[in-house]
Amino acid sequence: MNPNRTGRRCVPSSALSVPDIDWQAPWLADWRALGKPIAQQVAAGCPQAQALNQARDHLPVRFVPQADLPEGQAYEDFIFAHGQVPTREGLHDFFNALCWMHFPLAKKRLNQLQASEIARAGVGQERGPVRDAATVFDENAWLIQPSDALWTALTEHRWTEALVDGRAQWAHTRLWAFGHAALEKAVQPYKSITVHLWRVPQEVGAADLDAWLAQDLSPDKLASKPFSPLPLLGVPGWWPANEDPAFYRDASVFRPRRWTAAPEKPYANSEIEPPA
């Protein structure tokens, strides 16, 4: 399938594996130095959990085979209780582990929030707003450090302004990958892959990002879901086809924002006046 067209990837992610990762992809620039050597070990036959544990010391967790997760115990609760991350072979858990290596404090914070919600409300079919948002963040978040003008254009889905007219701004806009499910999808890119942007203030330096994020991931903020969507291949410079402004005119991918009308106050009607 041509990734410049609308639609999903033609090969399911389960058919792809760690050796299929293109480490030259621009969205993997920050993860390449650490991730590529581990991927090479996995491709050579090393069990994934073993290769990951050998790569980085001083993490708050260890990676263990999926079989170590007892039947009936919630995944997040097991990590919180034992400091061990059940890890399957394959892309999804590989990228999850790399995220633990890059953002150990933020990942630990997300796990604490998820475990706390499970302890409060049980696993259940309904996650609740905090656990639901924490899962969205964990799977699909992308961190962005934009100017005020760029952030406003993105949140209002003014795609031409943000990605065509404001293209030069992106050379000064910092992006960090986080969501491991989004990274799994991007191993075989397609146009409609959409990530959830989480804004990082300008004063936060790269060296302080993990600590800042761990503090920023509060239950109240997560429950408010302050995400903004961005089709990943729309980032200027990340996909050859987006050099053509027509790339962004695909409204099935670059969708207009759906505004929710605020409820009208009774006295908005000229015949009804508020009390004096």
C-beta of residue 246 within 8 angstroms of C-beta of residue 163? no
Both tokens assigned to 83: 């400091």
pLDDT for residue 272: 35
C-beta of residue 80 within 8 angstroms of C-beta of residue 115? yes
What is the four-CA torsion angle of 188, 193, 198, 202, rounded to 10 degrees?
Answer: 70
pLDDT for residue 57: 77
State how far the Cα of 25 lies from the Cα of 66, in Å rounded to an integer.
29
pTM: 0.87
User: Hey, which residues does 217 pair with through a beta bridge?
Assistant: none
pLDDT for residue 119: 83
Q: Block means of pLDDT (10 residues each) for the chain, length 276 residues?
A: 35 74 97 97 96 89 96 93 96 97 97 90 72 95 98 98 97 97 97 98 97 98 96 97 97 88 44 38
What are the Cα distances from residue 261, in Å, to 156, 172, 258, 264, 265?
15, 34, 9, 8, 12
pLDDT for residue 230: 98
State how far the Cα of 182 lies from the Cα of 230, in Å rounded to an integer.
12
DSSP 265: P
The length of the chain in residues reads 276
pLDDT for residue 123: 62
Residue 134 burial (10 A CB sphere; 0-12, 13-18, 19+)? buried
C-beta of residue 35 within 8 angstroms of C-beta of residue 23? yes
Both tokens assigned to 57: 């010391």
DSSP 120: H
Beta carbons within 10 angstroms of residue 179's beta carbon: 23
End-to-end CA distance of the chain: 65
What are the Cα distances from residue 44, in Å, to 37, 39, 161?
11, 9, 46
Selection from 246, 256, 276 nearest residue 4 by Cα: 246
Both tokens assigned to 262: 């605020």
State how far the Cα of 207 lies from the Cα of 220, in Å rounded to an integer.
25
